[in-house]
Amino acid sequence: MAAPVPPLGSTRQAELYRAGIAGQKPPFPIVFEDLVRAAQERMTPEAFTYVAGGAGGGDTIRANRAAFDRWRIVPRFLRDVSQRDLRVNLLGQTLPAPVLLAPVGVQGIIHKEGDLATARAAKALGLPMVVSTVSSHSIEDLAAALGETPRWFQLYWPADRDLALSFVRRAEQAGYTALMVTLDTIMLGWREGDLQNAYLPFLHGEGMANHTSDPVFKKALLLPPAVNPISSMAHFLKVAFNPKLTWDDIAFLKQNTQLPILLKGILDPDDARKAVDFGMAGLIVSNHGGRQLDGAIAALDALPRIADAVGDQLTLLFDSGIRRGSDIFKALALGARAVLVGRPYCYGLALGGEEGVKFVLHNLLADFDITLGLAGCASAAEVTRERLHMI
Amino acid sequence: MAAPVPPLGSTRQAELYRAGIAGQKPPFPIVFEDLVRAAQERMTPEAFTYVAGGAGGGDTIRANRAAFDRWRIVPRFLRDVSQRDLRVNLLGQTLPAPVLLAPVGVQGIIHKEGDLATARAAKALGLPMVVSTVSSHSIEDLAAALGETPRWFQLYWPADRDLALSFVRRAEQAGYTALMVTLDTIMLGWREGDLQNAYLPFLHGEGMANHTSDPVFKKALLLPPAVNPISSMAHFLKVAFNPKLTWDDIAFLKQNTQLPILLKGILDPDDARKAVDFGMAGLIVSNHGGRQLDGAIAALDALPRIADAVGDQLTLLFDSGIRRGSDIFKALALGARAVLVGRPYCYGLALGGEEGVKFVLHNLLADFDITLGLAGCASAAEVTRERLHMI
Amino acid sequence: MAAPVPPLGSTRQAELYRAGIAGQKPPFPIVFEDLVRAAQERMTPEAFTYVAGGAGGGDTIRANRAAFDRWRIVPRFLRDVSQRDLRVNLLGQTLPAPVLLAPVGVQGIIHKEGDLATARAAKALGLPMVVSTVSSHSIEDLAAALGETPRWFQLYWPADRDLALSFVRRAEQAGYTALMVTLDTIMLGWREGDLQNAYLPFLHGEGMANHTSDPVFKKALLLPPAVNPISSMAHFLKVAFNPKLTWDDIAFLKQNTQLPILLKGILDPDDARKAVDFGMAGLIVSNHGGRQLDGAIAALDALPRIADAVGDQLTLLFDSGIRRGSDIFKALALGARAVLVGRPYCYGLALGGEEGVKFVLHNLLADFDITLGLAGCASAAEVTRERLHMI
Amino acid sequence: MAAPVPPLGSTRQAELYRAGIAGQKPPFPIVFEDLVRAAQERMTPEAFTYVAGGAGGGDTIRANRAAFDRWRIVPRFLRDVSQRDLRVNLLGQTLPAPVLLAPVGVQGIIHKEGDLATARAAKALGLPMVVSTVSSHSIEDLAAALGETPRWFQLYWPADRDLALSFVRRAEQAGYTALMVTLDTIMLGWREGDLQNAYLPFLHGEGMANHTSDPVFKKALLLPPAVNPISSMAHFLKVAFNPKLTWDDIAFLKQNTQLPILLKGILDPDDARKAVDFGMAGLIVSNHGGRQLDGAIAALDALPRIADAVGDQLTLLFDSGIRRGSDIFKALALGARAVLVGRPYCYGLALGGEEGVKFVLHNLLADFDITLGLAGCASAAEVTRERLHMI
C-alpha cells in the first residue's frame, strides 16, 4: 500500500531554504504558535473557539502540553541514520509514518471544502485518515477522495444501534479498514468558550453528512432531510450522544464486524486491561485534545501507565497535544505505535485548504524525521523509553 | 425535601446552545475568568477587593488554585452513566447535589438585595444555603425566603456567650438544621487590599442585620440601634471577634443545642481528631478562601490528610477554591462529601442579583454533572481517590 | 528594656480601617508590591536599582521568594490566642518581636536623613537596629538616636585589623550589645544593574561616616578627610573588602571583645558547625538578600539544614526575603529565633523617612501578630516545624 | 602559554564603577537580557533568529536554562580566597580560566569582520578559541589572528573522508592543538524560525571559507570557486551533513591524527562510555545550545549523569546555556573541567566587533571570578558537587 518514504526532513528543509534565495517566504506560518494565530485571524471567532478551545477554561489542554515538557529526549550518536525508516505497521497495514489524521468533525466550519480538502491532503501524503462520524462529507465521498489511502472510521456511537450498524456497514463497504470507537463523548464536554458564544456547529447543520445520507437515519424521520432540515437536526441531537454505552455494546460491535476495533479515549489502566479482554485491536490513549473532561490527566501522563499494563497485548496509539516532531517521538518512546494529529492540520485547513493541510503535515513529518535522526534512531521501532529522561 | 435532580448538564447545554440559534448570547459570562472581570466592572473597587481579595497579597488564594492543578482526573468509560445521581446525604438530609452555598457575609455590598437574592436563588435550585452570622438580612428573613430549602447557620462565635446562644436559638427556631462554627476568624486576616482601601464593610453598617435584631445584642446597648447606629457598630466590633475561643466553648455549644455542629476551617489532622472526640458532626476543610491566614496550606492539600485521619468518623466538607465542576469532583475524590461555593455566586449576584446567582450555580452544577459522567461515575458516591492521579 | 508589646494586629487594623470612615487612605502603600513601585518612583533609578537589585540578573532574589512559596502554614484552632506574646529573648535581651532592622548601608541614597530616620523609627517601635559598617551616620550618632533601644553593630571586616578593632571598640563604648560579622561581602557581588548604571554609592562618598570619623582610618590618610575627600575614598576602597578573611580572624575577634559575635551569611551546615566550635553566639542564615552570590541557595532552603545541624547550640537568625508576616512565621518554624528585615523598611524610608519606616515595620508586626494568632500560636515559641507543610 | 590571571572580578568592577564617576556608562549592556535585546536591534531579523533561535519553537533552549535554576550554590566562608586561581589544565594546556570560545560558524552574518574579530578578542583575553568548520575566515587566517593563543578545531565531519582529513591536516599545520568533532549536526535541526524566514546563511555564501580554500574541496568542483560560486555552494551542501557518521569514522580519525579528539554533543552515559573505549580525550556535554534536537534533555541535566559514568576517565567539558558566572560554577560543580560559551560573545560581536566580544567575555570572567570567591573557592578545582543543592 503505502510506499516507503525517503527521509523527508532534509528534503523539506532544502525546499524551504532554497525558496528563500528566490525571495519566497513559506506560504503559511511554520512556527506553530504563529500558525495558530494566523488561523484565528482567518476563522470566525465562534469556529476558532470551537476548534482551539477545550473543556472548562482549557485546563486539560494546558495539562497535555505541560506533560510533554517534563519528558526530555536523550539522543545517541554515531549510528548510521542516513536511511531513516519512518514506516510503521499498524493492524496489518504499513503506514509511511507513525502519524494518522485524527478524526475531526464539522470541518466545514474551518474551510468551505471541509474534510474533502483534508482527505485530498491525506492522499497526497499517503497518511491514513480517520474519518469522523460527524464529518462534513459522507463516508463514501471521503473514501472516493482518499482513493487507495488507508482510512479508518471513527464512530460516535449513536443512541440507536441500528444507526451504529448502518454506519459500520457503510464504512466496511467504502473500504475503511478499522473502526475507532470514541468513548469520551457519551455527552458533550462543558466548553465554556463555546457556551459563551452559544455556538454548536451541529445546530447550524454542520457535521450531519453521514446522518442525512443514511437510510436508517432517514427512516426515522417524518420528512426527508431535504424537505425539513430541522427535523434532521432534532433527530441528530436525539441520537448523537449515548451515555448508556457500555462494554456490552462493544461486545455487540465485535460480533457484528470483521474490522479491527480500537477504543479511543482510554486513560485508565483498568479500562485498558478490559479492552484486551474484549478482544480490542487497539487503544488510543487520548483525552480528546482536552475538549471533553475538564481537569483530566494529561494523555501523555496516562500513556506509560497504560503501556505498562497492556502495551504488548494490543496496538497503542496516542492522541492529544501533538504539535511537533519531538512530541511524536516522546509518545512513541512511552509506548505508542503511532499518533493522531488533529488541531494542527485544522489550522492548515483554515489557512489554505488542501494545501494548508499538506503544508502542516509535511512539516510535521519532516520535523519528526529530523528528530528521529538527531536522536540516533534509524526507525520508529528504535524509539524506546530509554531515550527519555523525566524531570 | 430536596427532590432528585435529573441530569442537569445536557439540558443546560442544550438551553444555552439553542439560544444561540435565536441569536441570544448568555446574559452573563460563562468563562469563569470573564465572570470575575465583569463583576469587577460592576462593583465598587472597595467591594470587589473585599470579595475577591485575600490575606496578605493573595498568596493563599493562589496556593488554593495551584493545588487543584496538581490533581488530575482519570476517567473510566463504558459504564452506563445516563442516570447520574448527584444527590448526597448530608447529616440526614438529601441534597440535590454535593454543593452548598458557602456562608458569605455583607452581601449588601455586592448587590442591593444582598443575601435575600441569594436565598431566592438557593431556593430555586434546591441547594442548601449556609447563612452567615454577618448576613445582610436576618436569620429569620432569610429563613422565610428559603422556605423549605435546607439552611444551616454559620456562627462567628462572638465574644459574648449569651449572644452566641441567642443566635443559636434563633437559628433553631427558624428551621436551620445545622450549625457551622467558623474557627479561622477569631481575628480578622491582614488583608492588604482592604487595608489599602481602608475599607471594612462593618464600619459602613453592613452585615449587622442579625445583631441589630437580636435581643441580647440590643440589651447590651445604651441606646437602641435605630436611635444610635454608632453605638451598635461599636458594640458589634467589640464582640465580633473572639480570639479566646477554645474547645471548651465547643463543648459548651454541644451541650446547649441539639443541632449537629460542624467546624469550619480545620486544616490540621490533629484538630480533626479532636473534633471527633468532641462529638462534632462534621468538618469543613477550608482556609476561608484564602482570606484569613496568609501563607496557609492549600485547602485541597489539607483535605486528603484529614480524610485519612478522620474521614470515616464524621462528615467532611470542602471549601476554598471551587470554581468549576472538576474542582468539585476532585474535592469529593479526596474525601469530601460535599463542597461549599462562595465567590462564584457572589460574582453572579453582583451582575444579576437572584438571576445571576442562579445562572452561576446552575452552570456549576451542569459542569459538575458532565464531569461526573465523563469521568465514568453515575453518582457522587462513585467518586473515589482512585479517580485521581497526582503530578 | 523592651516592654511587652500588646497584640498589635487588631489595633493596627482598627486604626487603618477607622481612618477609612473619615475618608483617609493610608499615607503609604500597604500592598507590598505597590510599596516597591511607589518607592521606585520616588528614588533615583540608580539608588533604586542599588537597593532593590541583586547579584547577576536577580536570580537569587527570585529563589529566595520561591522558597517561601513551597512552605505552607498548617494552622491549629481553638486555643486561646487572645494574649499573644511576640517577645523573644535574644542573647539575653528581650525583644518586643522577633524582628530586627537588618544592617543596610548608605541609606543616605534613599532619604536625606538616612539611617538617622531609621534609627528614630526603630526607637519608636522598640525594635533592635543593626547598624551597618557603611551606615550614613556614625556609630555614635546612631547610638544617640536609638537611646535605650537595643543596637547591634554589623562589621564588614576591613582589610586592616586595627580598623576592625577600632570599630569594635567604638561600638562597645556606644552601647552596642552584639557584633554581627558579615561573611559574604569579602568582595562585592557582580550586580549587573549597578554595573550598567556604573553606580556605586561609596564612590559618591556615601556610607563612609564611620570611616571618616575613625582615628585609625584617619591616621592612615595623608590628608584629613575634610581636606581631601578623594584620599578618604581611595583608602576606604582599599580596606573595604577583605577576601583574606578566615576563621583565624574570627578567633582573633573573639579574643578581643566581650560582646557576643554572630556570623551573617552562613548557608552551609559545615560552616555552621565550625561557628559552634569557634564559640559564636549566633548565626544569621542569609544570602544577603540575593545581593552577593548569584545562583545561591535560597536562604530559607538553607535554614532547616542549618537548624538541624546546630539549631540548639547557638542562636539562629534568618535574613533574606522577609516581606510579610507569614514569612517571619515560616522562618521561625524552620528554626530561626528572629528575622532581619531590610529592603521593606528602606522602601518606607524612601517614601516617608522615619514615618515611612515606622509605617512599614508597624504593618509587618501587625501582620505577623495576626499570622501568629490565626495559626493558633500564642507566642513565637509555639511556632514549630509541625506548623508547616512542604509542597 | 597562558599566564596566570590575577583576580579579575574586583578589577573589572572597579573599572566599570569608576567610569561612572566620570559620567561614563558601559559601552554595551551588562545585564544579559539587555545585551540580547540590543544585539537584536542591531542585527537583521534573519541573522538574529539564526543566532538566538533554536530547534522547534525553542523548547530545548528553555529547558537548558530551567536546569540551571534547579541547582543552587551553597557557599562556604572564611577561607582565604584573595588569590583565586581560575586556571585549569586542559589536555596539557593551561588555560587562564575554564572558558573556551565555543565554535560558532558564519559569524559574518553577525559582524562584517566575523570571527576574525572574535579571534582577536580571544587573543586579547588569552582564552582558547574553538574554530568552526563553517567559520567565516579560514583555519589559517584565524590561526594567524590568534597567534600564541590556544586554538582547537571543530569538525563538522563532511560526507567525504578526504575533505575531513584535509581539514584535520590544515588544522594540525596551523597549530591547532585539539579536534572537537560535533556529533549532533549529522543533519540540520528543524528550526522553525529560520524556516519561516527561509534563511540559511550557507545559501548566501556564508561559512564556506574553509571549503573554498581547501584543495580537496576545490578538486571536486568543475570550476574554481572564484569562477562559479554556485558550484561551490552546491558541493558544500552535498558534503556538509553526514548522517552516515559512525564510531568507525571516529576510529579512523583517531588512527589518522596525533591530536587529542573530543566529541561534542554527548548526552547519553552509554555514548560516553563508548567514547572512553574509543580512546577519546574528552567529551563536550552539549545539546548545541538547543539548536539541534527539539525536546532534548537539558545539557546540565545530562552532565552529572555523564560525569558519574566516565568523569574520571576523560576530560569533560560543558556547553549549552552558559550565560553568567554562576552557570560556569554549576557546570564545574557537576563535573565539567571547563565550559564553552557561544551566543553571549556573539551578541557582543554584533554590537561592537572585537571590542564587544572582549567586553562580554571579560565581564563573564569577572562574574565567574567573583562567584568563585563568594562561594568560598580559591580555584576551579575546589568547585565540587558538594557546593550545590538541588531543589
Would you call C271 and D76 a contact, using CB atoms and an 8 Å cutoff? yes
Q: What integer pLDDT is reported at residue B2 of this predicted model?
A: 41
pLDDT band at D73 (very low <50, low <70, confident <90, very high): very high
Find the residue in A nearest to D233 (Cα): A18
pLDDT band at B192 (very low <50, low <70, confident <90, very high): very high
Closest CA to B97 of B32, B12, B156: B12
Would you call B268 and C391 a contact, using CB atoms and an 8 Å cutoff? no
Beta strands in chain C (DSSP E): 71-73, 88-90, 93-95, 99-101, 129-131, 151-155, 179-182, 261-266, 282-285, 315-319, 338-341, 388-390
Tell me the three cell numbers of residue A51. Answer: 476548534
D277 contacts D251 by C-beta, under 8 angstroms: no
Would you call A57 and B30 a contact, using CB atoms and an 8 Å cutoff? no
SS (H, E, C) A54-90: CCECCHHHHHHHHHHHHEEECCCCCCCCCCCECCEEE
Is pLDDT above 60 for D290? yes
Query: What are φ and ψ of residue C384, in 5° steps?
Result: -120, 170
CA distance C108 to C117: 10
Would you call A79 and D266 a contact, using CB atoms and an 8 Å cutoff? no
B295 contacts B289 by C-beta, under 8 angstroms: no
Q: What integer pLDDT is reported at residue D46 of this predicted model?
A: 98
Mutate to test the interface with B, among C17, C85, C360 (most CBs of B within 10 A): C17
Q: What integer pLDDT is reported at residue C304 of this predicted model?
A: 98
Would you call C72 and B243 a contact, using CB atoms and an 8 Å cutoff? no
Which residues neighbour B161 within 8 Å (Cβ) at sequence distance 6 or greater?
B249, B252
What is the per-residue pLDDT across D152-199, written as a single tens digit (0 to 9) for each?
999 999 999 999 999 999 999 999 999 999 999 999 999 999 999 999
- Could you give the count of Cα atoms lying within 13 Å of D142 in the half-sphere of its Cβ? 34
Q: What integer pLDDT is reported at residue A370 of this predicted model?
A: 97
Would you call D190 and A366 a contact, using CB atoms and an 8 Å cutoff? yes
Q: What integer pLDDT is reported at residue B256 of this predicted model?
A: 98
Alpha-carbon torsion (A24, A28, A32, A33), positive or negative: positive
CA–CA min distance D40, chain C (Å): 18
Q: What integer pLDDT is reported at residue D288 of this predicted model?
A: 98
Mutate to test the interface with C, among D8, D24, D74, D85 (most CBs of C within 10 A): D74
What is the per-residue pLDDT across C85-139, written as a single tens digit (0 to 9) for each?
999 999 999 999 999 999 999 999 999 999 999 999 999 999 999 999 999 999 9
What is the per-residue pLDDT across D208-223, written as a single tens digit (0 to 9) for each?
999 999 999 999 987 7
SS (H, E, C) C98-167: CEEECCCCCHHHCCCCCHHHHHHHHHHHCCCEEECCCCCCCHHHHHHHHCCCCEEEEECCCCCHHHHHHH
Which residues of chain C neighbour B246 with C-beta distances below 8 Å? 78-80
Would you call A188 and B13 a contact, using CB atoms and an 8 Å cutoff? yes
Which residues of chain B neighbour A207 with C-beta distances below 8 Å? none
Which residues of chain C neighbour B109 with C-beta distances below 8 Å? none
Residue C346, class by beta-carbon neighbours within 10 Å (0-12 exposed, 13-18 middle, 19+ buried)? buried
CA distance B5 to B95: 9
C265 contacts C182 by C-beta, under 8 angstroms: yes
Is pLDDT above 90 for C13? yes
Which residues of chain C neighbour D31 with C-beta distances below 8 Å? 57, 192-193, 196
CA distance B254 to A42: 66
pLDDT band at D2 (very low <50, low <70, confident <90, very high): very low
Q: Which chains touch C (3 or more CB pairs under 8 A)?
A: B, D
CA distance B211 to B132: 12
Would you call C198 and D324 a contact, using CB atoms and an 8 Å cutoff? no
Query: What are φ and ψ of residue C306, in 5° steps?
Result: -75, -40
Which residues of chain B neighbour A296 with C-beta distances below 8 Å? 72-75
Report the amino acid identity of residue A229: P
Which residues of chain C neighbour D382 with C-beta distances below 8 Å? none
pLDDT band at D1 (very low <50, low <70, confident <90, very high): very low
Q: Could you say which of C56, C250, C263 has the minimum Cβ distance to residue D326?
A: C56
Is pLDDT above 50 for B21? yes
CA distance C282 to C264: 9
Q: What integer pLDDT is reported at residue D228 of this predicted model?
A: 74
CA distance A111 to A108: 5
Is pLDDT above 90 for A175? yes
Q: What integer pLDDT is reported at residue A221 of this predicted model?
A: 87
**DSSP alpha helices (H): ranges in B243-342?**
247-255, 269-277, 299-310, 325-333
pLDDT band at A324 (very low <50, low <70, confident <90, very high): very high
Would you call C72 and B63 a contact, using CB atoms and an 8 Å cutoff? yes
Q: What integer pLDDT is reported at residue B1 of this predicted model?
A: 38
Q: How confident is the model over A219-234, as a mean pLDDT? A: 79
CB-based touch A/C (3+ pairs, under 8 A): no
Q: Which chains touch B (3 or more CB pairs under 8 A)?
A: A, C
The chain-wide mean pLDDT, for chain C, equals 95
Which residues of chain D neighbour C301 with C-beta distances below 8 Å? 72, 389, 391
Which residues of chain D neighbour A372 with C-beta distances below 8 Å? none
Q: What integer pLDDT is reported at residue A4 of this predicted model?
A: 43
Q: What integer pLDDT is reported at residue B225 of this predicted model?
A: 65
pLDDT above 90 coverage of chain D, percent: 92
Closest CA to B90 of B141, B127, B51: B127
Write the Ramachandran bin of D314: left for phi over 0, alpha for psi from -120 to 50, otherwise beta.
beta
Query: What are φ and ψ of residue B42, in 5° steps?
Result: -80, -35
CA distance A328 to A300: 11
D320 contacts D289 by C-beta, under 8 angstroms: yes
Tell me the three cell numbers of residue C315. Answer: 542562636
Query: What are φ and ψ of residue A78, in 5° steps?
Result: 60, 40
Mutate to test the interface with B, among A191, A192, A308, A391 (most CBs of B within 10 A): A192
Closest CA to B166 of B98, B256, B250, B53: B256
What is the per-residue pLDDT across B26-74, written as a single tens digit (0 to 9) for each?
999 999 999 999 999 999 999 999 999 999 999 999 999 999 999 999 9
CB-based touch D/B (3+ pairs, under 8 A): no
CA end-to-end distance (rounded Å), chain B: 40
- Could you give the count of Cα atoms lying within 13 Å of C49 in the half-sphere of its Cβ? 18
pLDDT band at A316 (very low <50, low <70, confident <90, very high): very high
pLDDT band at D327 (very low <50, low <70, confident <90, very high): very high
Which of A313-327, C7-21, C220-234, D308-322 is predicted least confidently? C220-234
Q: Which chains touch A (3 or more CB pairs under 8 A)?
A: B, D
The chain-wide mean pLDDT, for chain D, equals 95
Which of A228-242, A262-276, D78-92, D118-132 is predicted least confidently? A228-242
Would you call C13 and B190 a contact, using CB atoms and an 8 Å cutoff? yes
Is pLDDT above 80 for B222? no
Q: How confident is the model over D41-69, as a mean pLDDT? A: 98
pLDDT band at C7 (very low <50, low <70, confident <90, very high): low
Q: How confident is the model over D298-327, as a mean pLDDT? A: 97
Alpha-carbon torsion (C282, C286, C288, C289), positive or negative: negative
B1 contacts B93 by C-beta, under 8 angstroms: yes
Q: What integer pLDDT is reported at residue A234 of this predicted model?
A: 87
What is the per-residue pLDDT across D201-210, written as a single tens digit (0 to 9) for each?
999 999 999 9
Q: Could you say which of C18, C25, C72 has the minimum Cβ distance to residue B297?
A: C72
Query: Does residue C288 carry a catalytic annotation?
Result: yes
What is the per-residue pLDDT across B233-292, written as a single tens digit (0 to 9) for each?
889 988 999 999 999 999 999 999 999 999 999 999 999 999 999 999 999 999 999 999
Is pLDDT above 60 for A99? yes
CA distance A247 to B85: 21
Which residues neighbour C96 within 8 Å (Cβ) at sequence distance 6 or greater?
C2, C3, C4, C5, C86, C87, C125, C126, C127
Is pLDDT above 90 for D6? no
Find the residue in B nearest to A270 (Cα): B76
> Rounded to the nearest 10 degrees, what angle do helices D161-173 and D139-146 cross at?
20
Q: How confident is the model over D257-264, as a mean pLDDT? A: 98
**Residue D327 three-state SS:** helix
Would you call A20 and D199 a contact, using CB atoms and an 8 Å cutoff? yes
What is the per-residue pLDDT across C33-49, written as a single tens digit (0 to 9) for each?
999 999 999 999 999 99
Would you call C374 and B187 a contact, using CB atoms and an 8 Å cutoff? yes
C164 contacts C155 by C-beta, under 8 angstroms: yes
Q: Could you say which of A30, A325, A391 has the minimum Cβ distance to residue D196?
A: A30
Is pLDDT above 90 for C311? no
Which of C57-71, C99-113, C223-237, D195-209 is predicted least confidently? C223-237
Would you call D298 and A72 a contact, using CB atoms and an 8 Å cutoff? yes
Is pLDDT above 70 for D4? no
What is the per-residue pLDDT across C242-272, written as a single tens digit (0 to 9) for each?
999 999 999 999 999 999 999 999 999 999 9
Tell me the three cell numbers of residue B374. Answer: 465523563
Beta strands in B139-201 (DSSP E): 151-155, 179-182
B172 contacts B139 by C-beta, under 8 angstroms: no
CA distance B338 to B335: 9
* Residue appearing with cell numbers 455586592: B110
| B229/A329: higher pLDDT | A329
Maximum CA extent, chain D: 69
Q: How confident is the model over D354-381, as a mean pLDDT? A: 97
Which residues of chain B neighbour A196 with C-beta distances below 8 Å? 25-26, 29-31, 34
pLDDT band at A3 (very low <50, low <70, confident <90, very high): very low
Would you call A34 and D190 a contact, using CB atoms and an 8 Å cutoff? no
Closest CA to A299 of A67, A102, A127, A113: A67
Closest CA to D153 of D285, D261, D1: D261
Q: What integer pLDDT is reported at residue D264 of this predicted model?
A: 98
Is pLDDT above 60 for D33? yes
Q: Which chains touch D (3 or more CB pairs under 8 A)?
A: A, C
CA–CA min distance D2, chain C (Å): 25
> Rounded to the nearest 10 degrees, what angle do helices D45-52 and D343-374 cross at?
40
Mutate to test the interface with A, among D46, D185, D294 (most CBs of A within 10 A): D294
- Count of A-B CB contacts under 8 Å: 146
CA–CA min distance C381, chain D (Å): 29
Q: How confident is the model over D46-61, as a mean pLDDT? A: 97
pLDDT above 70 coverage of chain C, percent: 98
CB-based touch C/B (3+ pairs, under 8 A): yes
